[in-house]
Structure 1
Amino acid sequence: MTTTEQLVSAWDSCFDKESGWYPPLERGLQGVAAAQACWRTEGKAVNTIQELVHHITFYKASLLSALTGSEEAPSTDTSFQEKAGITTEGEWQETVATLKNIHTRIREKLVAMNDQELQHEVEGITIYQWVSDLVLHDIYHTGQIIFIRKLQGSWAA
């Protein structure tokens, strides 16, 4: 298996393919309604699922922007300051669809790369390292999302 294939496999496992070790992000978000996405533990400084999804999307959009040379991603991470409150179902579904779209577009870029291209530096870091870091980032925040859902009683273990 090439380095590219290994990286794409990890990219898939953190998002929508069951690895056996941890649930993918897509499963963590499956069935989450807007009210659940905006729910916050009373009196606790804990991010909401919506804020976590905005945060994950920001970093994926940053990578996609670097890979494509576009300037679509915001220049500073304000994902945890969004605290937008209750979102409509339509807005929440659009938020999740944006995350999936960006993830898929990055995957398409990765599949087209060879092992050598993964070693190119973009913004001072190799593409390989950036993607590897995002895989770990997704897994970490997926755990937070599942923990929030357990607190809500909306996660069937």
Structure 2
Amino acid sequence: MTITEQLVDAWDSCFDKETGWYPSLERGLQGLTAAQANWKLEGKEMNTIYELISHITFYKSSLFAGLTGDGDAPSSDTSFNNNLTASTEEEWNAAIAKLKKIHNRIHEKLAALSDQDLQKELDGVTISQWVSDLVRHDIYHTGQVIFIRKLQGSWSC
């Protein structure tokens, strides 16, 4: 297996490819309503699932912009400081669709890269390192999503 294939496999495993060892982000979001995505434990300083998804989407968008030279990525991450909420089910579903779309677009770009391409730098970091870091980032936040769902009683294995 090439380094590119390994990286693409890791990319998919953290999002929508079940490994049997840990749940993917997609599974962590299944069946979640807008109200559940906006839920916070009363009296506790914490992020909502919606804020976490906005945060993950921001970093995926930043990577995609670096891979394509597209300047459409937001210039700063505001997902954790605006008390973001999904007002409707449609808005929540649109946030999930945006996340899936950017994830799949990155998958396509990564799969087309050679092992040598992965050593090119974007903002002083190799593509390989950036993707590896983002995989770990997504897994970390997937754990938070599932923990929040357990706290609210909406998670069942």
Compute the TM-score of the two structures, normalised by the length of structure 1.
0.98
Whether 2:81 is the aligned partner of 1:81: answer yes
Shift in Å at residue 7 of structure 1?
A: 0.2
Q: CA deviation at 1:104?
A: 0.3
After TM superposition, the structure 1 = structure 2 runs for residues 1-157 of structure 1, keeping only pairs within 5 Å, are 1-157=1-157
Aligned residue type for 2:130: W
> Which 4+ residue blocks in structure 1 deviate beyond 6 angstroms?
none
Query: Which secondary structure does the structure 1 equivalent of 2:14 belong to?
Result: helix
Report the Cα distance in structure 1 between the residues aligned to 2:84 and 2:125, rounded to whole angstroms: 32
Q: Across the two proteins, how many residue pairs are aligned to each other?
A: 157
What is the aligned-residue identity percentage?
A: 68
Cα distance in structure 2, aligned partners of 1:106 and 1:70? 12
Q: What's the RMSD between the two structures over aligned residues?
A: 0.8
Distance 2:86 2:119 in 1: 42
In structure 2, what residue type is equivalent to 1:150? K
Q: Which runs of 5+ in 1 are unaligned?
A: none
Q: What is the CA–CA distance in structure 2 between the aligned matches of 1:128 and 1:16, rounded to whole Å?
A: 20
> What is the SS of the residue equivalent to 2:80?
helix
Instruction: Tell me the TM-score normalized by structure 2.
Output: 0.98
Listed as ranges, the gaps of 5+ residues in structure 2 are none
Question: 2: distance between equivalents of 1:3 and 1:104?
Answer: 19
Show CA shifts across 1:79-117 (max 9, x none).
112313352000000000000000000000000001000
